[in-house]
Amino acid sequence: MTLRTPGADLPDHPDRLWRPAEPKRAYDVVIVGGGGHGLATAYYLAKNHGITNVAVLERGWLAGGNMARNTTIIRSNYLWDESVGIYEHALKLWEGLEEDLGYPLLFSQRGVLNLAHSLQDVRDSVRRVNANRLNGVDAEWLTPEQVKEVCPIVDISPHVRYPVLGGTYQPRAGIAKHDYVAWGFAKAAADLGVDMIEHCEVTGLDVRDGRVTGVQTTRGPIAAKKVALAAAGHSSVVAGYAGVSLPLQSHPLQALVSELLEPVHPTVVMSNAVHVYVSQAHKGELVMGAGIDAANSYRQRGAFHIIERQMSAALELFPVFARAHVLRTWGGVVDVTPDASPIVGLTPVEDLYVNCGWGTGGFKATPGVGWCYAHTVATGEPHPLNAPFSLDRFTTGKLVDEHGAAAVAH
Amino acid sequence: MLLIPCPWCGPRDEAEFHYGGQAHVAYPENPAALSDEEWARYLFFRDNPKGLFAERWSHTAGCRRWFNAVRDTATNEIHAVYRVGEPRPVTA
């Protein structure tokens, strides 16, 4: 019997999904931020607009910020027409995205329940269901018993402090595997010629005569005809390099997972009032999140009392979780706007575009915002679906107040 | 979790406090005279630095008084706390 090197019979290293690129001296478009939104924007710039001389600059590794940290919930049941426009566009893209990217995303339309715990909750929820249906979004109002049918582990007894009085249900909502989404977009964009440049932090924006001409980075200066910001929690910092101030506050948002468990949770449950949202990942972890930490911070960690409160909320809704364990908690930095809606569009600096302010809910919009932001950057005009989310709405007063449907406390 | 030194009660757990955002934002002296841009700036725009930030806290589960702090948002280190009405102290 001959001795074999351990591992010698294992298959070869899989092919790289994208080639790491060295920064060129100039690009047509430089995208600042290699998260989901930046990668999706790069993909649609190449695919929809034929613009392939594009670099995605990422200060860490691709999709290592909020894209690696979110709770992967996808839905489009927002209240206002403007929001439904962009979120439903995203959901429709999600529904064909695996085929489009040629990459598995574990996209699972297992539905989302948004629970109501007070009479006002019920009124607001029913109103939102009606608004959704008028906008062609699948939405239903469920009684507590119907909630229990969709998700048998929810406690609907009247004896808890905040009984479940019903909930809205969007059957087409669900989850996807966040890392696969990033990798799928990165691979597809790289295949079309986009440069993925990691460990390249933007340290300045070159502005001449009111027009952006390039970026300064830790890997040298890069000229650009257009610069598209997609820097999430660091948007204020990056936009500040060009003297653009944004109505954003950066906060930590935490999430956590349990150990791997047998499938117990068939859908996604969100509760504004007791405040937790829970799904179960394909692998088996219970994935939970709640509200942001109150104080501004760029630290990717939050306070433990936030975890403690969301755990008690989860236990009230799901007594069966009492014996599960918290395996891991983490935080990301989210950029929150005054109206809980994003800012996507032009800036006072010519050829500088901004996509930020997605706060706690940017993942679900990934393909939709990539599509619309790419259009905005390529044409220099806001896509109709992101036109309502312009920076100047804070001056005109035409806010898109989604604090209710954002489902995460700000 | 932050350990916040209330200027009245001493160091207490963050959970006892309520956050009030940026400090030293004065109500406009003559609101009617503001342009839409100026009003938007007062209403919606606050500093969001990665670094030292003067902010308001209320010790809601203690003395219930508001005070100001200078905290580094990159490290969460609190460099100073001071009473409302006092100027922002010079910090390193």
Tell whether A2 is within 8 A of chain B (Cβ).
no
How far from each other are the two terminal CA atoms of chain B, in whole angstroms? 23
DSSP string, A19-84: -B-PPPSEEEEEEE--SHHHHHHHHHHHHHH----EEEE-SSSTT-SGGGTS--EE----SSHHHH
Distance CA B19, CA A208 (A): 39
- A73 vs A354: CA distance, rounded Å: 24
Domain A108-172+249-335 carries which CATH code?
3.30.9.10
Phi, psi dihedrals of residue A154, rounded to the nearest 5°: -75, 135
pLDDT at A408: 66
Q: Which of B40, B55, B74 sits opposite A298 (nearest CB)?
A: B74
Question: What pLDDT, on a 0 to 100 scale, did the predictor assign at position A205?
Answer: 98
Q: Which of A240, A245, A231, A234 is nearest to A207 (CA)?
A: A240
| C-alpha span between A33 and A354 (Å, rounded) | 11
Residue A36, pLDDT score: 98
Confidence (pLDDT) at A14: 77
- Say if the Cβ atoms of A236 and B76 lie within 8 Å: no
- Identify the pLDDT of residue B29: 96
Mean pLDDT for each 10-residue chunk of chain A (410 residues)? Answer: 70 84 97 98 98 98 96 97 98 98 96 97 97 98 98 96 97 97 97 98 98 98 98 98 98 97 97 94 94 96 93 95 95 97 98 97 97 98 98 96 74
Which SS3 state, helix, strand or coil, does residue A398 take?
A: coil
Q: For position A407, what pLDDT does the model report?
A: 61
From CA A91, how far away is CA A361, in angstroms rounded? 13
CATH tag for A26-71+179-247+338-406 (out of 1.20.210.10, 1.10.443.10, 3.30.420.40, 3.50.50.60): 3.50.50.60
Cross-chain CB nearest to A250 (options B15, B18, B48) = B48
pLDDT confidence of residue A176: 97
Asked if A297 reaches chain B (Cβ–Cβ under 8 Å), the answer is yes
Query: Which residues of chain B neighbour A298 with C-beta distances below 8 Å?
Result: 50, 73-74
How many CA within 13 A on the CB side of residue A88?
19
Encoding tokens for residue A171?
């059957």
Within 8 A of B40 by CB-CB distance, chain A residues are 247, 394-395
Tens digits of per-residue pLDDT, A20-44? 899 999 999 999 999 999 999 999 9
CB contacts of A248 in chain B (<8 Å) are 48
**Domain extents for chain A?**
26-71+179-247+338-406, 108-172+249-335
Q: How confident is the model at residue B1 (pLDDT cuts 50, 70, 90)?
A: confident
Domains of chain B in sequence order: 3-83 (3.30.2270.10)
| Mean pLDDT of all residues belonging to chain B | 96
What interface predicted TM-score (ipTM) does this complex get?
0.97
User: What's the per-residue H, E or C state across A69-111?
Assistant: CCCCEECCCCCCHHHHHHHHHHHHHHHHHHHHHCCCCCCECCC
Those residues with Cβ within 8 angstroms of residue B55's Cβ, 6 or more apart along the chain or in another chain: A295, A296, B19, B20, B21, B22, B23, B68, B69, B70, B71
Residue B92 confidence (pLDDT): 65
Determine the pLDDT at residue A409. 63
**B37 at interface of A, judged by CB pairs closer than 8 A:** yes
- Whether the full predicted model's pTM is greater than 0.90, yes or no, is yes
Between CA A393 and CA B44 the distance in angstroms is: 11
Q: What is the pLDDT of residue A2?
A: 63
pLDDT for the residue A303: 94
- A312: alpha, beta or left, given left = phi > 0 and alpha = psi -120 to 50? alpha
Q: pLDDT for A217-247, tens place per residue?
A: 999 999 999 999 999 999 999 999 999 999 9
E-strand stretches of A303-356: 326-336, 343-346, 352-356
CA-based nearest distance A348→chain B, Å: 13
- Work out the end-to-end distance of chain A between its first and last CA atoms, rounded to an integer number of angstroms: 65
